[in-house]
Structure 1
Amino acid sequence: MAFYNGARVVALLLLVSTAARAAGDGLLLNGNFEYQPNKSQMNGTRVMAEYAIPYWKITGFVEYISSGQKQSDMLLTVPEGAHAVRLGNEASIQQQISVTRVMYYSITFSAARTCAQSEKLNVSVAPGPESGELPIQTVYTSSGWDSYAWAFKAKRGLVSLIIHNHGEDDDPACGPLIDSVAIKTLYPPQATQSNMLKNGDFEEGPYMFPNAPWGVMVPPISEDDHSPLPGWMVMSDTKAVKCVDSAHYAVPHGARAVELVSGLETALMQEVRTVPGRSYRLEFSVGDAGDGCLGSMQVKGYAGQGCTTVTYNSQGTGGHTRASLEFAAVADTTRVVFVSSTYTTKWDGTLCGPVVDDASLVCVSQQQPPARRLLRL
């Protein structure tokens, strides 16, 4: 009992030291769960003490998983390092982080579904109303692991990040695996005269793990100011779009792009202020990510009442084409939408799709003044 109390005091000190450290871009403290709990605070794989995992507080049925561990006839793998955690029914992990008030942050973490078919994770920060439900039932990689992003605006200088599984499975241990939790400060770009789209080149976005070759999934998000892909909303029920980088993929422009991996089930959208009657030109690039995604791909670009369909025949090795759409605004706000009208899979059966990048919107003509009436003398 004395040892348990001593371990609890040490864990509390670790939690306090976590709160005193400013959040920099990269893994949270013990974000990859490689610092192990003491065996005296575990029952098999289940973690029994709420502060047993260094720098984390747990609630509910949480397991500490080693890579290669078996669950029934399934082999559990870990994407980074040798350990991860599994969140069972009503289980959560949380960590206090020091942030800058009113700044925007993106959280990236890796997750893998285990036994449930429609697993979801709730990610939130406290204090504050920010929370999001991330569907993880679709698997986008052959390894079973995907990285997900979620964003928030800091209301306080000290917040608690909470990842929670609201599971109701008959097996209380059933739930997703979590690994590699990281944070990144976001600096949302603003619209300019040369480009009315915010973050049209997708260069500002979530933290991407240097050694993870599968990109980062941005799940449905209907508020662009709280998006891990600043300026953009992801419209879908359960599917996501994928942020890809030039270190692991073919990117048409710059260091990042977005791969539309979910066909008609997901749309990438941004609302732009326009003047009714004025003409505008939307330009964007469509290509493939060089990830072995083969076949004829189609991207539809919408702006106001205008629409263009771009067909790209992918060889799976990279490349892109440029598209343009001119339209007249009919309202004070115009929606710019990109959606893939084709469903494509790679040789291993995983979803893939066309890449969209380097999108720009400019005004090409001013509103014509009303015609003058001639007065008869």
Structure 2
Amino acid sequence: MGIVAIVGTLLLMCAIAHTSVAFTEGLLPNGNFEQGPARSELNGTQVTSRTAIPSWEISGYVEYIESGHKQGDMLLVVPEGSYAVRLGNEASIKQRVKVAGGLRYSLTFSAARTCAQAEQLNVSASGQSGVLAMQTMYSSNGWDSYAWAWIAKSDDVDVIIHNPGVTDDPACGPLIDSVAMKALYPPKPTNKNLLKNGDFEEGPYILPNTSWGVLIPSNTVDDHCPIPGWMVESLKAVKYLDSAHFSVPKGRRAVELLAGKESALSQVIRTVPGRSYVLSFSVGDAKNACMGSLMVEAYAARDSLKVAYDSKGTGGFKRAALRFRATSARTRIVFWSSYYNTRSDDLSSLCGPVLDDVAVLSVRSPKRL
């Protein structure tokens, strides 16, 4: 091959690496990393070329990991398919996606901690970013799926997952797999519910081949919650569940409150001062071996309610209602779990009560509450 042809090929490769991929809901192109680098672009497991992984651009110390790969005495397990990438010190992966400016999008991906105990991931797009701490692992298999949301400020967006950590071993860092995107459309209150998205049907993409749900981070990490209408105001995440793998009281989606009072979910609604309202909701268990005494605390204005649920770990739910009187034009609705619970089949995995089918309606009453 002549020099001109070689240069042309290299320029074409660079152009492909910077070309925007039209957004479609689900996995990004090669989002599961099953298409890997050529052998000539690997030094052991380390990827040596910036554009070696199809559809991705890398920087820093990035490894291409096959399921079952051993690191010392540790076996690295890939959650989906046969391959994943590991981000070492200051390493990142990037893909450019064509979106609709002004819309909210969520990114879902799976990650696992490997060497370090306090690993983090910095996720960014459209000039917005959030740092996801991975010190607490919620699933027994060592993997968790995370969601992070942002508002697209242009039609072309670079989605970046970066490991900001610096450890003694430059290869130490989290494994990343199954990167997916979804557009989020803001639901509105109706005459049947003053809450937005009270049934949690609008939310991040849930990877179909995973059975551990998706973690929704605190609003200290994400300004745009992946569950539109809601905010996670606690230190710990809440978990977004699907009916394909969990018991869900109504519809296809629900939320699990994982970490006691550190796992709070809230929404601010418009109310009329002095008017009476009823907050109704379902409390249950996810059929995930979360057994024992579960309890959800609900707060609205100056009123509160504790709802106990005796879980057998096999699914089921109960309805509850809190009557309150609005004291201002904005009322904050808050839910959290009273207790810390772990699964009966795995005492290291946090679990908790399921919340679903939440509604607020105005009621007429001559009585003072």
The bucket for the TM-score relative to the shorter chain is over 0.9
Q: 1:5 to 1:175 in 2, by over 3 A?
A: farther
| Preserved CA contact (<8 Å) 2:148 2:222 | no
Measure, in 1, the Cα distance between the counterparts of 2:223 and 2:43.
43
- Partner residue of 1:152? 150
Instruction: Tell me by how many angstroms 1:265 deviates.
Output: 1.1
**2:269 counterpart (265, 268, 272):** 272
Partner of 2:64: 64
| 2:362 aligned residue | 363
Q: Partner letter of residue 328 of structure 1?
A: R
Percent of residue pairs identical:
57
RMSD in angstroms over aligned alpha carbons? 2.0
Q: TM-score under structure 1 normalisation? A: 0.92
- C-alpha distance in 2, partners of 1:223/1:178? 19
Q: Which moved more, 1:131-140 or 1:285-294?
A: 131-140
Hey, what does 2:47 align to over in structure 1?
47
Q: Which residue of the other structure, out of 336, 339, 342, is the alignment partner of 2:333?
A: 336
User: Which residue of 166, 169, 184 corresponds with 2:167?
Assistant: 169
Listed one character per residue, the Cα deviations across residues 122-179 of structure 1 (whole Å, up to 9, x for unaligned) are 1111xx3311111122111111111100011111000100001100111111110000
1:114-129, aligned counterparts within 5 Å? 114-125=114-125, 128-129=126-127
196, 199, 202: which is aligned to 1:198?
196
Match of 2:240 among 227, 239, 243: 243
Q: Aligned match of 1:131 in 106, 129, 137?
A: 129
SS of match in other structure, 2:102: coil
Q: In structure 2, do the counterparts of structure 1 residues 45 and 10 end up closer, same or farther at CA, with 3 Å as the change threshold?
A: farther
The answer as to whether partners of 1:135 and 1:219 remain within 8 angstroms in 2 is no
- 2:292 corresponds in structure 1 to 295
Structure 1 residue identity aligned to 2:141: S
Taking a change above 3 Å as real, the CA distance of residues 225 and 131 of structure 1, as seen in their structure-2 partners, is: closer
Superposed CA deviations along residues 46-72 of structure 1, whole A, max 9, x for unmatched, are: 112111111111111111111000112
Aligned-residue offset at 1:331: 1.6
For residues 279-337 of structure 1, the C-alpha deviation after alignment (integer angstroms, 9 at most, x for no partner) is 11100000000111100100000111110000000001110000100111112211100
Q: 1:4 to 1:66 in 2, by over 3 A?
A: farther
Partner of 2:16: helix, strand, or coil?
Answer: helix
Counterpart position of 1:35: 35
Question: 3-state SS of the aligned residue for 1:40?
Answer: helix
Partners of 2:135 and 2:13 in 1: CA distance: 34
Gaps of 5+ in 2: none
Q: SS of the counterpart of 1:226?
A: coil
Give the drift of 1:9. 4.1
Give the 4+ runs in structure 1 shifted more than 6 A: 2-7
Whether the aligned pair in 1 keeps the contact of 2:132 and 2:221 (CA below 8 Å) is: no
Give the Cα separation in 1 of the matches to 2:9 and 2:116. Answer: 34
Amino acid in structure 2 at the alignment position of 1:220: S
The alignment covers a number of residue pairs equal to 363
**Distance between the aligned counterparts of 1:71 and 1:80, measured in 2?**
19
